[in-house]
Amino acid sequence: MARRLLSILALASLIGAVPAVARAASDPTPYVQRGAQQARDDAAAACRTPLRSAPDPSAPEACSPVDGRTISEAQVDAYQSSWTHRALSLQRGLDAAAPLSDEQLPHTHNSFNASSYTLGSTSYYPTLTNQDPNQVYNLTDQLRMDIRAIEIDLHWWPSPFGNPSTGGKWVTMCHGDSGQTQGYVHVGCTWDRPFQDGLAELRSWLDHNKDQVVMLYLENQLVDQNGYNAQAQDIAANLIADGLGHRVYRPKDGSCDDMPLTASSADILAAGHQVLIVGNCGVGGAWGTWVHERQPYWDESGDPSTYDSNACAADRAARQSAQAAGHGIFRREFEDSTWLTATLGDGTNHLSTPQTVSLMTQCGVNIIGLDQLTPQDPRLAALVWSWAKDEPKAGGGDCAYQGGDGRFHAGDCTDKHHVACVDATGAWHVTAATSKWDKARDLCARKFPGSVFATPANGLRNQELVEAKGSPSDDVWVNYSSVNGAWSLGS
């Protein structure tokens, strides 16, 4: 507690450290307001920390008046019964067989940097890094909230886990920056949690959820003044081997292969794995036998707070261009809610909203990095592009159609609707004629030879189907049905 209170004072005092140029060029009010917000949030985290060990899972909610956020284990439990959780769970089945370039994975930014770990539950908590956290729930809870793409930043930095052979350094998880000092100092890093802590938490969740696949993005800042440190990368590789082992879908050539954009989550599971690791290759070596290189087809440009129709059009054009060139593209957007980022910028954080998240999903962005995720966060519901709110309704029917709202609804299979067909190029067509669901396959074959009765695999494909309709209000069968209560894609 004392360390956290000291850090609050340190954060407040750091307001005076904002570069003079920034202060001279702008109104200081946003910096002061953001500093006050950080002190408030840090005080709320200090309040919750001991209560996380209380027998009552709702105990941390007593701290809600401090920062206005209801945060507790009980809230995560409640989320598990929500429509959002059900819709996102069903949605995973829609793109499971799609190539990675078409998958849309709920994602958190700097997933490891959370204020939620209880005292003594993990090594050296609290730390300087998580006094300015990106997240308020730990990795396990983020996964329980349907996150399937997580990020861990790795630094080569002095640590109590180091030893003489490593010069006292270790592979450390921290929200730091080595670029400003060319690896001499990793600004923001102190004696933070070791990489093995994060891997152990992920492994425990995977072992209880053997049908799930997670993308693990490792930001490789394993550098010193000489550049990428081979010893650090080899140690990181050994930690991955010990921590995740056979669960990892490894590069086939053992040499930092490019991201497998044509592989799917279903492929990874079928091969007996659960984790796809992507990152930057550095010097390769043992690291390259575990980590896929994210470049050259990874794009993470843009501002999630201002994502609009122009940004959407640019993303769609880039995806079409990549497809024409014979390769995929993987699009990431992310925000950063930390005090440091705001203070070294314009005094504010450029954050996503439910509206921008919904548009990014509709426009095919593969992963949208959310900060400060909570079970009540409306951005989780904004990630749902498939089912309409509260669908599929009990008794609504066993066949799915895309309604005039562009969302899926459960309907009576004997009703007559237009039919969604897709051709070999991936283009959508909608029949002018209507049919019952069980006649839809034949109707596609007759009206659009070479096409098949199909279901959109992601938000962009769903939007393309909307645009293919003769009228936006048309109801269109998709090849998606329930058998004995379980929704699945048709063959």
Predicted confidence (pLDDT) per residue in 147-184, tens digit = 999 999 999 999 999 999 999 999 999 998 898 888 99
Q: Is the four-CA dihedral 211, 215, 221, 223 of positive or negative sign?
A: positive
Judge if 168 and 284 occupy the same domain.
Answer: yes
User: What is the structure's pLDDT at 341?
Assistant: 87
How many whole angstroms separate alpha carbon 364 and alpha carbon 107? 14
Judge if 226 and 322 occupy the same domain.
Answer: yes
Which of these, 408, 401, 352, lies nearest to 380 by C-alpha position? Answer: 352
Q: Are 135 and 113 in contact (CB under 8 A)?
A: yes
Total count of domains within the chain = 2
- Alpha-carbon separation of residue 260 from 63, 139, 365 (angstroms): 44, 25, 17
Judge if 169 and 232 occupy the same domain.
Answer: yes
User: What is the structure's pLDDT at 118?
Assistant: 67
Judge if 434 and 371 occupy the same domain.
Answer: no
Q: What value does the mean pLDDT take over residues 186-194?
A: 89
Residue that finishes a domain, picked among 382, 410, 432:
382
The answer to whether residue 352 sits within a structural domain is yes
pLDDT digits 0-9 by tens, 338-376? 998 898 888 999 999 999 999 999 999 999 999 999 999
Q: 135 phi and psi, to 5 degrees?
A: -130, 155
pLDDT digits 0-9 by tens, 398-450? 999 999 999 999 999 999 999 999 999 999 999 999 999 999 999 999 999 99
Q: How many residues does the chain have?
A: 491
pLDDT band, residue 123 (cuts 50/70/90): low
The answer to whether residue 442 sits within a structural domain is yes
The answer to whether residue 39 sits within a structural domain is no
The residues near 68 (Cβ < 8 Å, ≥ 6 apart) are none
pLDDT digits 0-9 by tens, 277-300? 999 999 999 999 999 999 899 999
Judge if 334 and 292 occupy the same domain.
Answer: yes
Which of these, 391, 411, 390, lies nearest to 400 by C-alpha position? Answer: 411
Q: Are 361 and 383 in contact (CB under 8 A)?
A: yes
Judge if 465 and 340 occupy the same domain.
Answer: no
- pTM score, two decimals? 0.94
The answer to whether residue 103 sits within a structural domain is yes
User: What is the structure's pLDDT at 4?
Assistant: 39
Q: Are 398 and 482 in contact (CB under 8 A)?
A: yes
User: What is the structure's pLDDT at 26?
Assistant: 64
Residue 22 burial (10 A CB sphere; 0-12, 13-18, 19+)? middle
Residue 394 burial (10 A CB sphere; 0-12, 13-18, 19+)? exposed
Q: What value does the mean pLDDT take over residues 92-115?
A: 96
As a whole number of Å, the CA-based R_g of the chain is 24
Q: What value does the mean pLDDT take over residues 234-254?
A: 96
Judge if 348 and 260 occupy the same domain.
Answer: yes
The answer to whether residue 4 sits within a structural domain is no
Q: Is the four-CA dihedral 249, 385, 443, 316 of positive or negative sign?
A: negative
E-strand ranges in 371-474 read 399-402, 408-411, 418-422, 428-430, 452-453
Residue that finishes a domain, picked among 347, 382, 417:
382
Judge if 442 and 359 occupy the same domain.
Answer: no
Which of these, 260, 183, 161, lies nearest to 215 by C-alpha position? Answer: 260
How many whole angstroms separate alpha carbon 51 and alpha carbon 118? 8
Say whether 439 sits in a helix, a strand or coil: helix
453 has pLDDT over 70? yes
Eight-state DSSP code of residue 272: T
How many whole angstroms separate alpha carbon 169 and alpha carbon 157? 5
Q: Are 159 and 168 in contact (CB under 8 A)?
A: yes
Which of these, 418, 427, 421, 478, lies nearest to 445 by C-alpha position? Answer: 421
Amino acid letter for position 376 = Q
Please identify which residue in the block is written with the tokens 């998240």.
Answer: 357
Q: What value does the mean pLDDT take over residues 481-487?
A: 94
**Full residue range of the structural domain in which residue 367 is found:** 96-382
User: What is the structure's pLDDT at 22?
Assistant: 43
Judge if 290 and 251 occupy the same domain.
Answer: yes
The answer to whether residue 480 sits within a structural domain is yes
How many whole angstroms separate alpha carbon 338 and alpha carbon 354? 19
3 has pLDDT over 60? no
- Alpha-carbon separation of residue 229 from 154, 280, 336 (angstroms): 12, 13, 27
Which of these, 413, 425, 384, lies nearest to 479 by C-alpha position? Answer: 413
Q: What value does the mean pLDDT take over residues 39-44?
A: 93
Residue that finishes a domain, picked among 382, 407, 429:
382
More reliable by pLDDT, 391 or 115 = 391
User: Roughly what angle, to the nearest 10 degrees, separates helices 459-468 and 354-362?
Assistant: 70
Which of these, 491, 473, 485, lies nearest to 401 by C-alpha position? Answer: 473
129 has pLDDT over 80? no
Please, what is the end-to-end C-alpha distance for the chain in angstroms? 57
User: What is the structure's pLDDT at 15?
Assistant: 37
Judge if 366 and 434 occupy the same domain.
Answer: no
Percent pLDDT > 90 in the chain is: 81
Q: Are 139 and 193 in contact (CB under 8 A)?
A: no
User: What is the structure's pLDDT at 13?
Assistant: 37
User: What is the structure's pLDDT at 121?
Assistant: 58
14 has pLDDT over 60? no
The answer to whether residue 52 sits within a structural domain is no
5 has pLDDT over 70? no
User: What is the structure's pLDDT at 28?
Assistant: 87
The answer to whether residue 35 sits within a structural domain is no
Judge if 377 and 463 occupy the same domain.
Answer: no
Buried b (16+ CB within 10 A) or exposed e, 45-81: bbbbbebbeeeeeebbbebeebbebbbbbbbbeebee
Judge if 185 and 324 occupy the same domain.
Answer: yes
Eight-state DSSP code of residue 80: T
Q: How do strand 367-370 and strand 107-108 relate by DSSP bridges? A: parallel
